[in-house]
A and B are shown apart, each in its own frame.
Chain A
């Protein structure tokens, strides 16, 4: 397992050529109570840093960016029905989507946990 982070506050967990993506604890805390998520279509391809979804609390809306280039293979329907999972379990049941990596080397340039924690604290 190799959990990595982006400066847009997504996490990505790569297993083989597929990765799971969600928003970080810091992101959900900053947003507050999540009430809505807009998830990408399965089968759609995105470039790294494309907007792939939206997460909204009562007070704010934020884009969810693609941490890597690839094709969506699955989205979290449970999260769509219960967006509060993004708050209560952001690294678990609150995951957003799975993506098949087109350029696995992109992952190496993402932040590790120490670097992300330093980034989000600053």
Chain B
């Protein structure tokens, strides 16, 4: 009882309760884990129509000032300066050992850098960013703003009825919009592998906007349970499970997120926290001991986080960090860290589930093809 009393609520709390959501504590908030339709139905609805997610627990920040992009670049192995107007990019805050403090999304909005970070990390991220670059730019947390995601192949149809023009966005771009007098910022992005949008808006407009979306025939509310199964099928990392301060971007198989301009030989190589280690790992002078991989189960047994992975000889060579019986892929899937020599696609490993060996195979990611709208 006391645990729930201390929880924060999002601007959609009344709506969640009205919709019959089962609420759980998550990142300090009371959040809907599922609605009466249930996790699997919500998962399939998102893959076939459009699902509405309340992700208002996530942290929104603005960085402003002439030096903001250069300053933000000093925290991440990512090209911030070269990002075009209203373009969005995936970023990684690193500590001085190259470990991942958080993963995030940011947009160049011209007058600011708009950053979205994980809910459970937002206060730590803010303190980190303030302490490292607070002298070089203005950092404005907007933790009171709401964030909604509308995901799925029919998301564009539903959202364009409320916000004409969003259909012209392509994946990883954004635009400002006004709805009933409220300032919105919309990006074509998400955490499901589907086409879709994320909408930042004032808390005061969130309930009415969410109800307007739910009134569209394509749209149903989706809880955190399906959000997790959708992101895992899309091969996307969950901070705290699949990446954390003990994993580097190279170990996490996130090399694609580190643009050439920041790598050895690039015009702005290095100069970010943890660069010595990360660049040495990228260049191969400091080979990684373990790598994040995807695994598919060869038997219909779910394999969950913390399950050990053994080689043919019965030695532990890795551990699962996320895993479930995937509703769309229709088989067990997992993300895991394995010793580098077991990371090749097709490698057979045994997952030790309740003392029994369940065969799995290293698989390409994602487990379900992405369907982003690239224009």
Contacts and interface: CB of A to CB of B under 8 A. Distances in A.
Interface of A: 32-33, 35-36, 38, 54, 56-59, 61
B28 interface: no
Given A32-B225, A56-B302, 9 more contacts: A35-B40, A35-B302, A36-B300, A58-B39, A58-B225, A58-B324, A59-B225, A59-B324, A61-B302
Contacts of B248: none
B354 interface: yes
B360 to A, nearest CB: 15
Contacts of B122: none
Interface of B: 33-34, 38-41, 43, 225, 228-229, 300-302, 304, 324-325, 327, 354
Nearest to A33: B40
Nearest to A84: B40
B325 A58 contact: yes
A60 to B, nearest CB: 9
A33 B302 contact: no
7 contacts: A32-B34, A35-B325, A36-B302, A38-B301, A54-B354, A58-B324, A61-B302
Contacts of B34: 32
B325 A36 contact: yes
A33 B300 contact: no
A56 B325 contact: yes
A32 B38 contact: yes
Contacts of B228: 59
Nearest to B229: A58
A33 B39 CA distance: 7
